[in-house]
Amino acid sequence: MAIGPTIGTGLFIGAGQALAVGGPASLLLSYIILSILTFAMTTSVAEVSTHLPSPHGTLVTNGYKYMSKSLAFASAYLRWYTLALFVPYEITSAMVNLGLWKPGSTIAIRLVIITTIVVGCNFLPERIFKSSERLFTAIKIGTIATLFVLSLALGLGGVDTQPSWGFKYWKHPGAMNEYLVRGVSGRFLAFFQCLLDGSIAFAFAPELIVHHAEMPASLMPSIGESAILGAGIPGVVKADVAQTAFPYILSSLAMGVMAPSNDTRLTNNGTGSGFSPYLIGLKDAKIQVVPTIAMVAILLSAVASGRSFLYLSSRTLCAMSELGHAPSAFSTRNRGHVPYLAVVASALFSCLAFVSVKIPSTIMHTYLLRLVTSACFISTLVSCAIYIRFNRQLRAKGVTKRYSFSVQPFATYFGMAISTLLLLGGGLWAGPKRNLTSRATRLIIAYVNIGVFSLLYLFRRFQEFAPVAEIERQMDMGGRSHGDRAGPREPRTQKTNPHRGEVDVIPEASGAFELRASQATFREQ
């Protein structure tokens, strides 16, 4: 599965909030729409990647090819810090799971242990990390399959301790809830908020899926070989989208069977994130030992996803450094081929998880969920912009695309419309009056990424318009800058050729490809 890192987070815990606000029918419909959105955006990214495969991803490489430098700069750093924000999100997911299962005052100790495991694993040699990644991914996929089978058994009456549940929760408390207002409008708002909450499960899915498909082609030393392998990208992405969408849709249906939407455990009495619907169903079924095993599996899934996202964020920063878009220090590696400075920089975001010492982890988890999802909506809009500019440039040059999906360009416009609605509608979360946090705080969290993205854009824009005379004034007649005793420095060139040296990509087990490739070799994992 191409989005291995997201398994176990949005699906296990984040979906509980979505179920609580929208109801089982809204949850199912939300996952169907999000699957369609994922397919639409995957085909958009895939057309660009099929034309010219890249080892670094759309938001890192293709933005500089088809957009302004300022937008490309902002989108690349957006991708990096959003992936880094997933790390404290996963750590907090583990804390929510532990805190609700075994309440206690040792939250700081738990945070230190989990964070140490997540960060420490990323300093392992890449060979060892990849081996462990495959193991954790297998655990997560096995957890999904097992929980789905258990929910099916409970629904059909296959457990001796319980009669058949069926779809009783669709009747009481009901298939669709109301949110903020009553009536049809309230049901629509509940569905929309459910869509916002459920989107975490599909975050960055299009890019990760396409990145998985395009890697073999991007590593080929010649254009002819790249074109041959690139022709297979459309078929791979279609299969990966199906492998992603169907399990998630089936799981959303199963969760509506396992827990009623009015169960206070889903939101920890309305404070934020709560129990997974699967855990609630297993506890209510009074099946011995199984709930504890499921809790441990979900905990391991959160830790494993945290490891994966820290890997992805650090390798993204490393790739930006190698391409000349970030300080060169972040591409420095140790003997284990680990870009340790990039890992440290990305791991700093995990400090946000320690805010849970002061405020409940259930609230902090919800904060991070909003931050991550809003950033992903912006990333989707950037991917749409890249596709539109890509088409315009090809038409202007009279070049034919290597592959065109039948749903394009309509799918791109659909993705733009849905992503814009979700991004602007993020403030709906601030609607309820009864909440432990103020409306102003919730509104800031819902829209802060728009400001961050704008500041990144303006920062790069300012650099583009910096007067050359000011730069030249700092240079002496010998070409040396002030404080440079060794003479003029050679300008750092961008690594436009991905086959020079070594490149980093998403690990096979979590997204699914090889970490490193030498100049003239390709080794399928």
Position 374 scores a pLDDT of: 93
481 phi and psi, to 5 degrees?
-80, 160
Least confident window among 102-116, 186-200, 333-347, 482-496 = 482-496
Q: Band the pLDDT of 452: cuts 50, 70, 90.
A: very high
Average pLDDT over residues 108-133: 88
Domain annotation covers residue 517: no
Position 500 scores a pLDDT of: 33
The whole-angstrom separation of Cα 461 and Cα 296 is 48
Average pLDDT over residues 274-283: 84
> Which has the higher per-residue pLDDT, 224 or 513?
224
Is residue 2's pLDDT more than 70? no
> Which has the higher per-residue pLDDT, 226 or 169?
169
Query: What DSSP string describes 159-227?
Result: -TTS---TTHHIIIIISS---SS-HHHHHHHHHHHHHHHHGGGGTTHHHHHHHHHHHHHHT-SSHHHHH
Domain annotation covers residue 515: no
**Number of domains forming the structure of the chain:** 1
Domain annotation covers residue 343: yes
The whole-angstrom separation of Cα 330 and Cα 307 is 19
Q: Band the pLDDT of 498: cuts 50, 70, 90.
A: very low
Domain annotation covers residue 479: no
Is residue 13's pLDDT more than 90? no
Is residue 308's pLDDT more than 60? yes
- The torsion region of residue 142 among left (phi > 0), alpha (psi -120 to 50) and beta comes to alpha
**Residues counted in the chain:** 525
Domain annotation covers residue 237: yes
- Token representation of residue 174: 């009901």
CATH number of the domain where residue 133 is located: 1.20.1740.10
Is residue 87's pLDDT more than 80? yes
Is residue 381's pLDDT more than 90? yes
Average pLDDT, the chain: 79
Is residue 215's pLDDT more than 50? yes
Position 26 scores a pLDDT of: 93
Average pLDDT over residues 131-141: 81
Q: Band the pLDDT of 496: cuts 50, 70, 90.
A: very low
Closest-CA residue to 118 (of 348, 390, 323, 439): 348
Domain annotation covers residue 88: yes
Is residue 362's pLDDT more than 70? yes
Domain annotation covers residue 486: no
Least confident window among 113-127, 229-243, 309-323, 351-365 = 229-243
Position 39 scores a pLDDT of: 92
Is residue 110's pLDDT more than 50? yes
Q: Which residues contact 80 (CB under 8 A, 6 or more apart)?
A: 313, 316, 317, 320, 346
The share of the chain scoring above pLDDT 90, in percent, equals 27
Is residue 165's pLDDT more than 80? no
- Token representation of residue 210: 């396409």
> Which has the higher per-residue pLDDT, 6 or 442?
442
CA angle 485/487/491 to nearest 5° reads 125
Q: Band the pLDDT of 223: cuts 50, 70, 90.
A: very low
Average pLDDT over residues 456-474: 67
Q: Which range of residues forms the domain containing residue 378?
A: 4-465
Domain annotation covers residue 505: no
> Which has the higher per-residue pLDDT, 516 or 487?
487
The whole-angstrom separation of Cα 287 and Cα 304 is 26
The whole-angstrom separation of Cα 391 and Cα 505 is 26
Average pLDDT over residues 45-65: 79
Token pair 């504890």 is at which residue?
292
- Token representation of residue 47: 């057309």
